[in-house]
Amino acid sequence: MIVTLDGPAGAGKSTIARKLADRLGFAFLDTGAMYRAVTLAAVRNQGPWDDPRALAGLARQCRIDLDGSHVRLNGEDVSELVRTNEVTSHIHHLADNPAVREQMVELQRAIAAGQDIVTEGRDQGTIAFPAAECKVFLTASPEERAKRRVLELQARGDQISVEEVLEQQNERDHRDSTRQVGRLEPASDAIEVSTDNMSSDEVVDRLVEIVSEKTQRANG
The nearer residue to ligand C5P, 12 or 121, going by C-beta atoms, is 121
Could you please report the per-residue DSSP string of 29-96? EEHHHHHHHHHHHHHHTT--TT-HHHHHHHHHT--EEE-SS-EEETTEE-TTGGGSHHHHHHHHHHHT
- Closest Cα to residue 78, out of 69, 70, 87? 70
Nearer to ligand C5P, 46 or 180 (CB): 180
For residue 150, the minimal CB distance to ligand C5P (Å) is: 15
CA distances from 91 to 55, 63, 164 (A): 11, 17, 19
Residue 93: CB minimum distance to ligand C5P, A: 10
Can you say whether the dihedral through the CA atoms of 203, 191, 162, 97 is positive or negative? positive
User: Closest separation between CB of residue 182 and ligand C5P, Å?
Assistant: 6
State which residue, 26 or 35, has the beta carbon closest to ligand C5P.
Answer: 35
Q: Which residues bind ligand C5P (CB under 6 A)?
A: 9, 31-32, 35-36, 91, 95, 121-123, 172, 176, 182
Q: How far is the CB of 155 from ligand C5P (least distance, A)?
A: 17
Nearer to ligand C5P, 35 or 137 (CB): 35
Shortest distance, position 108 Cβ to ligand C5P, whole Å: 8
Alpha-carbon Rg for the chain, nearest whole angstrom, is 17
CA quadruple 220, 210, 1, 6: dihedral sign: positive
The three-point CA angle 61-65-68 to 5° equals 155
Nearer to ligand C5P, 12 or 32 (CB): 32
